[in-house]
Structure formats: structure tokens, C-alpha cells
Structure 1
Amino acid sequence: MDFRDRHVVVTGGTGALGRAVVGALLAAGAHCHVPYRQEREKEGLPSGALSLIPVPSLADEAAVAKLYGGLPALWASIHIAGGFAFAPLTDTSGELLRRLIDDNLVSCFLCCREAVAAMRRGRAGGRIVNVAARQALEPRTGANISASTAAKAGVAALSAALGEELAGEGILVNAVAPSIMDTPTNRRDMPKANFDAWPKVEEVAATILFLASPENKVSRGGVVPVFGASSQSAAT
């Protein structure tokens, strides 16, 4: 896939999946713009046409508007940033629920909105890819993580609605819904799991890259399962 001379935002670009996406984009010739919150997040990022932008919160409307308002003509925006909490219903406070909705749905909504404004300035269409989770497609697997499930389900619904709303402008919106992915953190937290069944972050990144690429000419409003062989329902 050819991203030469194309500018792409990747939120959550300093995490495990985000680094795989950023690395693949840079290899394909993209210029990546990656917001970050803490200085330590920048360590070990791929080298290349990479702009790192401090943003304290992607749920802050003014901060997100400033992030996208200062960009060159934008081709794609990929929204990986989010949050997760393992908490049964009776252990979930209103504060935790609101934080998960902010970290997942509000941040995604604001980034989509400002990305569309930036793409309209370029008048060349564009691509938006959001990251939901398996529970967004299979909510019954979200037992004991109901707040996270609800927040990610909102991301999936938003993606489908925007796919319809923006199609006439040549802005194609899709989402991926990963199962638990093979990351060092997930291996540490679930040492007895079958790691071979988990999708690798590079494999999920490949799906995201296609949906964000010029080669994707017709896919919109989709929430694509990226489960690999995993039968586990833990959140990403």
C-alpha cells in the first residue's frame, strides 16, 4: 500500500497496536502525526516522518481542535486511543463509567469530527478507522466489563453511522473490533492463555492500514472482526 505524501493521524500511536500501525505507515511512506500525554511514551518509537504532538486529553474539545487545526492536508485519521477496566457492575462507579466513555467514545467522536473538518479543507476525501473491541460485536461476552463494553459499542455504532453520513464526500469510515491481542501486557496478565490463538498486533495493523489506504475504495460503515483464532472475550 502506498501512503507516500499522505498525512495520517494515529491516536494511541505510542501503545502496542499503535506502534505497529505507525511503523507500517512510515514504511509505506506516510507522514504520521501522533499525539502523546507523557514524555516516556515517546521512547522507542519508529524513526521516520513522524511528528509527536503533546495533547493532555483527547476528550478535551479545545485540545483536539487545536491538534487537527494545525495539520497539513489530512488523508487519514486512525483512532486507537482508549481505555479499559475490568470491573463488575456493582464495583463500577459513576466516575469510572464517565472516564471510560471519555477515553473511548468521546475521544473518538471529537477526533472524527475534527478529522472530517481537516479532510474537507483538503477537498480530496479521506479515510477514518476507529478501534472498537470484540465486545462491541458480541456484548454478551462483556460480562464483568460492562462499562468498557458499552463505551466500545458506542465507538462501533458511531463508525457505522458516520460511514453512511460521510460516504458522499469520499470520506470512508470503518472500524476494527479486535479480540484480545498478543502483547507483552496481555501475556503477563494471562500467563496460562494460548498465545498462539491471539491475533498479533502486526496482523491487526495490516487490516487497519488497508481500511485507511487509497486502495480501499468501497468499504465503509463496517466494523471488521479481527479475532484470529481466539475464542477468548477479554477486551483489547
Structure 2
Amino acid sequence: MAGAFHGRTVVVTGGTGALGAAVLDKLLDEGAICHVPTSHAASPKGFAFARHGRVTLSANVELGDPTSVEAFYATIPDLWASIHCAGGFAMSPLGQPGSDASDDIFAGMMDANARTAFLCCRAAARAMLASGTAGRIVNVTARPGLDPRRGAGMSAYTASKAAVAAITVTLAEELKGDGILVNAVAPSTLDTPANRKAMSKADFSKWVSLEAAAEAITHLASPENATISGALVPLYGRA
């Protein structure tokens, strides 16, 4: 897939996070011009691509706010692909007295995962349709979003990721005649520094590497993917 994105413009939400950074790294290797929205007023500390010539970091973009999202996408010329890695996670056991399954956690998970995906999908699709060219949209759901039994103890997160899966499939069906392919990956546990710290006794070899996840995402977003749409691709590693 060498150079598959040469000269193509790609949005990566969550680009300052672990998965988003891995996706950016892969896209840049393939020649993409990348735009990364961030809610921060400036480049976050440790952002490896802050001075890269083909990465534009847009500050003060709130992905849960429709006006902010629409304004951001309006600045992106000739959008080819929009990849949505932004999201969040929280445990929320429902059945235990005194648990932290609050209304706020449910609302927060729906905002961080489902709402951001919905708003970015909408803005990206409208931009692509307005340009009259083909395009690609890739979301990130999760294994519990496809198999809720895996979401015991984290029902709010599971519900929000199931919503991302539903948004993906319905939008793919809606846009199937317009040359815009919409897909999602569904990782199990990703091998990130944060997850290693939180689950220090786990067998990391069973987790999904960031490089493998980025490879799957960039393939779905690439022009070499000419037929796959409406897919929820399981990335389960050895778990």
C-alpha cells in the first residue's frame, strides 16, 4: 500500500491519543495530509507530530458540539477520509449497591463515543457529498459493542460503542450509492501504556497492538479499499 494516500487529505480525531498517533504514523508513511482536531488551546505535551509538515493541529475543537465540528470540517479542503479514534472509557457496574453507574457516566460515555462519532460522520459525509467525490469514513467501536456479554461491568461504555456500530452500518447503507465507504474496527483490549498500567498483571501478548489496529484502519480508509462498506471488523488478537 506504499504511497496509497499520497496527496490525500485525512481527518483523524483522537490523533493526540495512543491509537490516533499510531494511525497518523501509518498515514504519514503513506503520503497523507492529516488534520487533527483537539480540544486543547495548543499542541498537547508529547504530541509527536506537532512540527510535521503534513500535520495540521486545529485547536479548541469540541467534538461533542455540532457547531464546533461543522466549523472544523468546513476548513478541510478536498476531504478524502475521516477516521474517528476519539473516545473514552469508564467502568459502570449496574447491579452493585453503591457502584459508580451514575447517570453522568452514562451520559459521558454516550457523548465521548457515540455523539462524537455521529457528529463527525455527519460533517464528513456532508463535506464529501458536497465535493462530489468518493471518500472513506472509519469509526472505532469495540468488542463489547458487537458482543455485549463482553461488557459486563461497563454497560455505559458498551452501549455507547454499540451505538457507534449502529451508526456505521446505517450510514454505510445510506451512502452506498455515493462512493463513500463507511466501516468500523472493533478492537478488544489495545496494547497501550494506559492499559498496561491499569491491568499490569494481564498477558499483554494477547492484546491487539496499536500497529495492527492502525494497519486495519488505514486499509479501510485507503483508495485500495474499493468494495468494503458497512463492515464491523473484529480485531480480537488472542483474547
The counterpart of 1:73, out of the listed 59, 64, 78, is 78
Provide runs of 4+ in structure 1 moved above 3 Å: none
| Structure 2: 5+ residue stretches without partners | none
Q: Deviations over 1:133-158 (max 9, x none)?
A: 01011101101100000000000011
Cα drift, residue 40 of structure 1? 5.4
> Comparing 203-212 with 87-96, which one deviates more in the overlay?
87-96
Q: 1:91 aligns with which of 88, 92, 100?
A: 100
Contact 2:5/2:30 (8 A) holds in 1: yes
Contact persistence 1:13–1:22 (CA under 8 A)? yes
- Given candidates 47, 59, 62, the residue that maps to 1:44 is 47
What per-residue deviation string (whole Å, max 9, x for no partner) do you get for residues 89-130 of structure 1? 252211221111111111100100100111123211100000
Deviates more, 1:173-182 or 1:37-46: 37-46
Name stretches of at least 5 consecutive residues in structure 1 with no aligned partner: 231-236
Alignment counterpart, residue 133 of structure 1, candidates 117, 135, 142: 142
Aligned CA RMSD, in angstroms, stands at 1.2
TM-score, normalised to structure 2's length?
0.93
What one-letter code is carried by the residue in structure 2 that aligns with 1:110? L
Q: Would you say 1:57 and 2:32 are equivalent positions?
A: no
| Distance (whole Å) between structure 2 residues aligned to residue 171 and residue 59 of structure 1 | 23
1: CA distance, partners of 2:61 / 2:30: 29
**Identity across aligned pairs (percent)?**
51
Q: How does 1:6-21 map to 2 (within 5 A)?
A: 6-21=8-23
Aligned 8 A contact 2:183 2:232 in 1: yes
Q: Does 1:180 align with 2:183?
A: no
Instruction: Give the alignment's TM-score, normalised by structure 1.
Output: 0.94
Asked whether the 8 Å contact 2:138–2:184 carries over to 1, the reply is yes
Deviation per residue, 1:49-93 (Å, 9 max, x gap): 000001342010100000001110100000010111012125221
The residue that corresponds to 2:120 in the other structure is 111
Residue 190 of structure 1 corresponds to 199
* Contact kept? 1:83, 1:103, Cα under 8 Å: yes
Q: Which moved more, 1:112-121 or 1:25-34?
A: 112-121
Q: Which residue in the other structure is 1:162 paired with?
A: 171
In the alignment, is the contact (CA less than 8 A) between 1:73 and 1:121 conserved in 2?
no
Distance 1:199 1:215 in 2: 23
3-state DSSP of counterpart to 1:168: coil
d(CA) in 1 for partners of 2:200, 2:107:
31
Q: What one-letter code is carried by the residue in structure 2 that aligns with 1:111?
A: C
CA displacement 1:199-231 (0-9 Å, x = unmatched): 11010000000000000011000100011112x
Which amino acid in the other structure matches residue 14 of structure 1? T
